[in-house]
Amino acid sequence: MRDADGLPSYERYVAGLAGGLDAFPDAQAKGSLVRSVLEGQPPELLRTLPEPVRALALSSPVDSEWVPETHLAALVHAVSELRRFGEHEYCGWIRGCNRALFARPLYRLLMAVASPEGLLRHAGKRWGNFHRGSGLDHDGVSDDGVRLTLTFPAGLFDELLLRGYGESFAAALEASRAGDPLVEIEARGPGFACYRARW
């Protein structure tokens, strides 16, 4: 995808990181997330990825390994760009990646025992299973949905990634038997995004 200025999203994302892909060393993501992004991608596409995400793709981490969050984010941008995803295709792809992740035996067991409400009540703990250096808080239930707030170092997640995380949360709700979940960004600013989840 390209941004409003016509820049490829990968270039814009990396250029916006103070220190490039070495920025935010305390922010890390689980290798299982990298593997879910790579699953089903054609090998010829992986060979055209820019470095260093090409190396990450061609020698993917084991599920339990921690990798820099910026590398995962850049990989998401690069794959989305090379696949020429529009917004609808991107959101469907991210939700599909997470559906497949949550269908794996270990995660399926974790999700199956949680109701949607229980899943959201422990959203911070679930987020911490996959991410370090950022946090997810459950802000309570109201008549028009459940609020979640994602906090992170300013600049780590851009609009594209934040939309993707909304799809990730929706896939988690699906795995916990929520009917037709919708997760939308209500507000965002440097270092935070507020979501509303409904089903």
Q: What is the mean pLDDT of residues 143-148?
A: 87
Q: What CATH number is given to the structural domain containing 162?
A: 3.90.1520.10
Q: What is the mean pLDDT of residues 14-30?
A: 96
Confidence band (pLDDT; 50, 70, 90) for 6?
low
Confidence band (pLDDT; 50, 70, 90) for 43?
very high
Q: Sheet holding 145-151: strands in order across? A: 135-142, 145-151, 192-198, 182-189
- On whether residue 3 sits in a domain, the answer given is no
The total number of structural domains in the chain stands at: 1
| pLDDT value of residue 64 | 95
**Would you say 139 and 121 are in contact if contact means Cβ atoms under 8 Å apart?**
no
Confidence band (pLDDT; 50, 70, 90) for 113?
low
- On whether residue 4 sits in a domain, the answer given is no
- On whether residue 35 sits in a domain, the answer given is yes
